[in-house]
Each structure stands twice: as C-alpha cells, then as structure tokens.
Amino acid sequence: MLAILRDLIRYNLEFRIGLVLVGIVVVMAALSVVSPYPAGDVYVVPPDLPPSTAHWLGTTSRGQDVFWQLTAAIRNTLFFGIMVAALSRVIALVVGLLAGYSGGWIDRVLMSINDTFIIIPLFPILILFYFVLRDSMSTPLLATIMACLGWAYDARLIRSVALSLKTREFTQTSIFSGMKTHEVLAREHLPYVLPIVFSTTMNNMNWSIGIEVTLAVLGFTDINTPTIGGMIYWANQHTALVAGIWWWIAFPIALVVMTFVGLFLLAVSMNEYIDPRSRLARMGGSR
C-alpha cells in the first residue's frame, strides 16, 4: 500500500492536489482541540461581526466565532463520514469476497440481498428513521444506519474482483494446502482488493457527508451537534443571507466543497491507478 501511495504522489497530479485539499481539511478539524470556545456554547463573542483580524471568518448571529465553530463542525462531519465508510467497507468486503469466492446458492442469496439494497430509495428511508427514532437519533446511530444502507454498490465491485481471483492458480494452491475459506479470503484475496477499498472509501465518504449535510440542513439530524450541515441550518434559521451575514453560510459551504473535491480527486486518481493501462500511460508520460 505504501508503494502505491508513493507512485501516486510521484506521478499523479490529481492525487497530489486531492491530498493537499484533504490535508487542509484535516488540519482544520485538528484545530478544534485548541478552540478557546466550547463548540456548543452560544453568545461567547459579539454577534454578526464581519471577518476581521479579531475574528478571521466573522461571527454568527448566535454569538459564535465562525472559524472555531467551523473547526468543530468539519471534525464532526469528517468523523461521521469515516464512521459510515469504515462500517460499510466491512459489510461490502464480507459480502463481496464471500459471494465471489463461494459461488452457488451463497452467491445468489447474498446478491439478491445486495440488489435489494441497490434499488431501494435511501433518502425517504433515512427520513423515516429520523421520525421513528427522533428522540434517540444521534450521530453514531445515524452513521450506523447509513452504513447498513450504503455498502451494496461496492460489494458488487469487490465480488467481481473476487470472481477473477477465484480462478487464479494461487487460490487453487491455497485450497489444496488446506487453507479454510476465511483464511483464503483474508490472506490471499484481501490484498488484491485493498486499492478498490481505498477508492470506494473516498466515494462513500463523499456520499455519506453529502447525505448528512442535506439531512442536517433540513433539520433531520441532531442539530445541537456542530456539523457543516448544522451550521447552514442555523444560518437559515436566522435568515443569514437576508441579514447580510454571508460569511455564516459561505465559509461552511466552501470548506465542504473543498472536502468533496479533495476526496473525489483521491478516488479518481486511485481508480486510474487500478487500471494498468492508465497507470502505465501516466507514468510513461511523466518521464
């Protein structure tokens, strides 16, 4: 994996740009630990001040410093995306590898379940979960629900790779040497799908962050936990644009767009690396 990252940094401009953008976002999130104000407190600074040297990104109508509020919001939003991506990768890996390797009725049953999750409309289901679990809805619970709904496309992709790996000679050698199914999948097949897992993780984070921001803007999440969507929600509640408090909405949107672009470029560059012809063409063109 380190060799792949080294090649991407050396030969792929999109990967380097994506890495810089995501790095800036991560630094913003890390700064939340040194925030002088608790993220949930209001009226800790004078409200509605424009960007200045005292408050770099201005203040909100709730008396919060936009910069420090943004560090806590992007931290929680990133954490949410990572939770969803990690949990859904586990499900996608188990289903994809097991279905592709086992074949037969196991493959048919798992793919039937997989296809069901592909075709069901996710957004109405998430809103339904919110109304059913409104009193107990929290960020970890919402992340778990989204992870259970967001693995199907990637499981099919991993299955297609597993179908190819199943016919390779090293797989037959592993079987004849007495390795069990979980050992073949973990030791022999998993290393081959890790680049795909990395690529789909970036895409899944973009998807989950986009859904979370949308739900938060509509007020269908825990709006008391600072997130990018939560900041936009409160800005709308206080009619920030009408009042001329543009910095309350502009900076959260700019940061989340930076996050989307950075993760997208990382995913695209990894997809290109997975394709041997594209990889060799780029490496040859860079010489």
Give 1-31 pLDDT, tens digit per residue. Answer: 677 778 778 878 888 999 999 999 999 999 9
pLDDT for the residue numbered 279? 67
- Mean pLDDT score of the chain, rounded to an integer? 89
pLDDT per position as a tens digit, 82-141: 999 999 999 999 999 999 999 899 999 999 999 999 888 888 888 888 888 877 888 889
**CA–CA separation, 134 and 180 (whole Å):** 44
225's tokens: 């936990």
pLDDT for the residue numbered 283? 62
Q: Please, what is the Cα angle at 251 between 246 and 252, to 5 degrees?
A: 110
Q: Which pLDDT band holds residue 221 (cuts at 50, 70, 90)?
A: confident
**Please, what are the domains in the chain?**
12-47+56-279 (1.10.3720)
Mean local confidence (pLDDT), 184-190: 90
Q: Token pair 């957004």 is at which residue?
A: 123
C-alpha distances out from residue 118 to 113, 148, 152, 208, 285, Å: 9, 12, 6, 15, 38
Q: Which pLDDT band holds residue 39 (cuts at 50, 70, 90)?
A: confident
pTM above the 0.85 mark? yes
CB atoms < 10 A from the CB of 186, how many? 14
Would you mind telling me the total number of residues written for the chain in this entry? 287
**CA–CA separation, 135 and 72 (whole Å):** 23
Q: Token pair 């409309």 is at which residue?
A: 121
* Sign of the dihedral defined by the CA atoms of residues 82, 85, 88, 94, in that order: negative
Rg (CA), the chain: 22
